[in-house]
Amino acid sequence: MTERGASPGRRRRSRRRSRARVRRILLVGLVVVSVLLTTGGWVAFRGWQARAHLVNAAGLAKELSSQVLDGDVARAQRTLAALQEQATAARGATGDPVWWVGQRTPYAGDDLTAVREISVAVDDLARLAFPTLLRVDLASLVPKQGKLDLNRLRAVSAEVSTADQAVRRTAQRLAAVPTTNLVAQVRDAVTALRSELEQLGELTSAADRGARLLPPLLGAGGPRTYLLVSQNPAELRSTGGMFGAYAVLRAEDGRIRMVTQGTSTELKFFDPPLKVAPETRRLWADLPGMYPADVNLDPDFPTAAALYREMVRRRTGTTADGVLAVDPVVLSYLLGAIGPVPVPGGPALAGSTAVRTLLSDVYRDLDTNAQDEFFATAAARVFDAMFTKTVDPRSLLTVFNRSISERRILFWSARPEEQRALAGSRLAGQLPEKDTVPTVGVFLNDGSGAKLGYYLRFSATLTVGDCQPDGRRELRLRITVGSTAPRSGLSRSVTGLAMSGDKYTPRTFVSVFTPTGGAVLTGRLDGRDTAMGSGTHGRRQVAVATVEAKPGQTRTLDVTLLTGQTGAGSAELVLTPTVTPWTTRTVNAPSCEQ
């Protein structure tokens, strides 16, 4: 029977049930709206609280860092207590049930989750990492009275390892936070904290490696022999400069002494050449296996170090346990911390003048053999002074951190287990086999047969470009090469073979390494298409351009690249360290998912 045919009573009951359903729907709706409004207001209030605590925590963290570096332990302890209070409050403000419900709402949920993760990360660092780092005695990480206390170093190792693990866990957790749909302020906060954690992680990881590796490296389990190699950036090579001179160091029970010294010239050349990888031969023929000065035409430092070690072994009978490479800029940094050092056969070295003395004045005042001897003696004397003088440990650690970050200190161990522990660090002097972020390498080799690198100035801009349909990304790289060389007055030691045709015009081979899985598309020099040599290095393509810069001239090389498949909107540069640091800029873009 239809509604129209129903009795009046049934029609009244039906209307009452309908009105009741409407009332229930309205009531539920009002309750839901009220809850949502209340929740939104509560979450907004708690978010305001969390933001205030996080801002306070950020300021306290900067204070803490400064106090630790200044050695003000008492103030640092008080600052840490205040930082922990603010971090715990931020974590609490984002951890109640109402916030949990808010994390599961559309639109705002991702942002609330990200703010929660930031709060947890800061609190974990304040509770688990910073107290441990504050307990570490910095003085135990540097030599005292000519010796490093290996027992104290072992004790520090456990503390540093705990802090490093806490930083790693925090970084991994924050790396898992999606940023694609976050509002700009929250996304920027996540990105900034990730960057800070990356830098902190590099420090704790380096300290952890050092604390674990230094005891055996310094002869805790028996004497060790090392080659200390001076890289000379006046004649550029991919890892920094030509291996011009070396010293043989002996390490035993934490103490290091110089045994003897020599030069690459004394090692002569090797025919037949030592074996090099086919990829290296395609770019540089047999030169790295023939000439000690050319072992590092390829930017892979372990390869160069192993070749040089074998050359020294064949010529002198000395079998080294590893190779440590430094350059004059590192020596200038060290001299700034330890003070001037006298060097037999030449002027005293000081922090403000060491680079000019080693890379300019020496060529003017000494003959070729005396130059190499002075370089080797200078490096050994500076390191000897570091081990024998009383030096502020914070200053030394700052010098080492700066030098390693600039890739000016490189180390290779002939023992595979130690070399594996170094893998992935800047100290190892390698490009990663697989990029986490698209990484472009720009490496320099002198093609003049001269010592004009002292007068060269370099800059690089890397711009992240369009997303490609195949999942790759375009990168635009601009490199400038400028020469400040004079037009006359340089000695034959500096002008050398003048292979560019003009003895005052340096020729530089600029090698561009793509990200893993990437490709080189185009190359232009001063706006015109230029021929480039090509090759591969693992999963990277390599293009080599020849750039000659006359005195006072600046040349511009533009290279267009493709990454491998990636959605990343950021990229990184790895560069040959030069006498004057590069001027660099990276222009990032939104990720391809945004």
Most confidently modeled range among 47-61, 123-137, 138-152, 560-574: 560-574
Task: Judge residue 54's burial from the number of C-beta atoms within 10 Å of its C-beta, 0-12 exposed, 13-18 middle, 19 or more buried.
Answer: buried
Which tokens go with 435?
Answer: 């990029």
Show Cβ contacts of residue 430 under 8 Å, excluding neighbours closer than 6 positions: 300, 301, 302, 423
Model confidence band, residue 313 (pLDDT cutoffs 50, 70, 90): very high
Q: What structural domains does the chain harbor?
A: 27-217 (no CATH), 224-421 (3.40.630), 432-587 (2.60.40)
- Specify which residues 475 forms β-bridges with: 464, 561
Indicate the Cα dihedral angle 114, 115, 116, 121, nearest 10°.
Answer: 90
Each residue's pLDDT tens digit, 70-126: 667 788 889 889 878 877 887 887 777 766 776 777 766 777 787 778 788 888 888
Each residue's pLDDT tens digit, 213-241: 888 888 888 999 999 999 999 999 999 99
- Residue 376: C-alpha distances to residues 67, 136, 245, 446, 539 (Å): 38, 34, 5, 21, 37
Residue 53: the pLDDT is 63
What value does the mean pLDDT of the chain take?
84
Each residue's pLDDT tens digit, 16-74: 555 554 444 444 433 333 333 343 444 454 445 556 666 676 677 767 766 765 667 78
Do the Cβ atoms of 43 and 89 come closer than 8 Å?
no
d(C-alpha 54, C-alpha 57), whole Å: 5
Residue 6: the pLDDT is 54
CB atoms within 10 A of CB 318: 16
Report phi then psi at 404, rounded to 5.
-70, -40
Rounded to 5°, angle at Cα 532 from 529 and 534? 140
Model confidence band, residue 1 (pLDDT cutoffs 50, 70, 90): very low
Do the Cβ atoms of 116 and 93 come closer than 8 Å?
no
d(C-alpha 73, C-alpha 58), whole Å: 19
* pTM assigned to the model: 0.81
Cα Rg of the chain, angstroms: 31
- Specify which residues 410 forms β-bridges with: 325
Which tokens go with 331?
Answer: 């020596």
Do the Cβ atoms of 240 and 231 come closer than 8 Å?
yes
Which tokens go with 293?
Answer: 């000065």
pLDDT top residue among 531 and 396:
531
